[in-house]
Amino acid sequence: LLTAPAQLPVDMLRWPAFYTPPNHPMLTSLGMRDQSFQTRWFGADLHKKLPRQERAWFEAQQKRAPPPRPTPPPLPGVRGSPEDASPDYFDLAAWSLAQRSFNGREIIMIATNTNGLPVTINLVANLRELGYSHVLLLASEQRVCQELISSSPPACGWSSLLREHRSRLNKYAVGPLQLIWLQRWYYLLHLVRGGYNAMMLDADIVLYYDIYPFLKRDFANHTLLCLHDATAGYAHVNGGVWYVQNAAPGGAVEHMLTEFRRRTLRLLDPDVPVIRYDGSYPQKRGMPADRLLDDQWVISNVLLSAVAGFEATIYSSAGIDTNNFKRLPRSVWTVSDRFPRTPPELGRYRSAYLSRYGMREAVLKHNGTSETIAQAP
């Protein structure tokens, strides 16, 4: 982690007055057990199934420390046939990383490429200072993990997930960076189905406090927390900060993430015609509608659908929008009439933090479950 003298311009990285910079700006070493487990999958293709010997070792370890939930049934692939449910390297990585967390269920996932490594390493160091070593770097390619030369490198893996659809991805202008942005939602769903509490962070994030006490106390009754972004679709959701906890098996939040997977997989089916922009987007008319595989656009429409209670699409510029806009809710979010006090541990940062804060909330329902979600201001 870096600190800068106070005389530097405000656009340089500086710590707020109420935060004490770390005394040792470095990544702390892992314990021998964690390091031993990590070497089994570090730099691996997380989508690859475990070899027989590795699978036997993994199953033996799970008997000593069971995962939060038994392996869920497989989901359908692009053409509808069930996928192989046998454990892969992601299952091994998720289980071993969660063991490092305070309750054996927490995982933090950060997508990165080579160009993003400097800021990503800064975030990893920031998280280590807070005591978080249950962090997985989802890399755009194996070479990114190989750049992490250290006796105790951050946990890192890449994934061949969806890469068999390269031709179709290229048509929708999905490059390596956009691909890991898609992959992370698939893996978020996988973690949720496995009973883990999963956090997804962009690399340009800094945490000043241990956030778990707030998540487990102030937001204990919320299944999902995400970041507000006024520029991001109808639901105004940013993909940079997401946290899912205690999601019900087969419940509303899991269903929403499953819908993200279903919608994006449908576009990768070679038997489905490529959807193209129409005249409402004259600059790209006739070109493949690449926004349909933009992760923030997709999750905005999926969340809108979850609140509306039916499959909805808006702002596609491709002739697939929901016909009756009157059926759509005026907003995905409802501003709560509760104004909780700002946690005293945060301080007021002079006058930047008010004494109370408002909340945007929504209630998602599916299969008889009801789960409350919230959005940061």
43 assigned to some structural domain? no
What is the CATH number for 94? 3.90.550
Which residues is 29 bridged to in the sheet?
Answer: none
Q: What is the mean pLDDT of residues 123-149?
A: 93
334 assigned to some structural domain? no
* Phi, psi dihedrals of residue 241, rounded to the nearest 5°: -140, 110
Task: Check pLDDT > 80 for residue 22.
Answer: no
pLDDT at 74: 87
β-pairing, 334-335 vs 237-244, is: unpaired
| Segment (H or E) for 129 | helix 117-129
pLDDT, averaged across the chain: 89
78 assigned to some structural domain? no
Tell me, yes or no, if the pTM score tops 0.85: yes
240 assigned to some structural domain? yes
Residue type, 12: M
Task: Check pLDDT > 90 for residue 242.
Answer: yes
pLDDT at 13: 40
Residue tagged 């905005």 (tokens): 300
Q: What is the mean pLDDT of residues 333-359?
A: 81
User: Beta-carbon neighbour count of residue 321 at 10 Å?
Assistant: 14
273 assigned to some structural domain? yes
Residue-wise pLDDT for 44-86, tens only, equals 999 999 999 999 999 999 999 999 998 888 888 877 777 888 9
pLDDT at 12: 37
* 3-state SS, residue 167: helix
292 assigned to some structural domain? yes
pLDDT at 98: 98
What are the tokens at 5?
Answer: 């003298």
- DSSP result, 53-108: HHHHHHHHHHHHS--SSPPPPPPB-TTSPBPP-S-BHHHHHHHHHHTTSSSS-EEE
326 assigned to some structural domain? no
Q: How many separate domains does the chain show?
A: 1
Report CA Rg, the chain: 21
Which residues is 209 bridged to in the sheet?
Answer: none
42 assigned to some structural domain? no
Domain range for 229 is 87-278+285-308
User: In which region does residue 69 sit, left (phi positive, over 0), alpha (psi from -120 to 50) or beta (all else)?
Assistant: beta
Q: How far apart are the first and last CA of the chain?
A: 27
Measured distance CA(96)–CA(41) in Å, rounded: 10
- Angstrom CA distances, 71 to 75, 111, 211, 249, 334, stand at 12, 24, 29, 12, 35
Task: Check pLDDT > 50 for residue 315.
Answer: yes
Residue-wise pLDDT for 159-190, tens only, equals 999 999 999 999 999 999 999 999 999 999 99
pLDDT at 21: 56
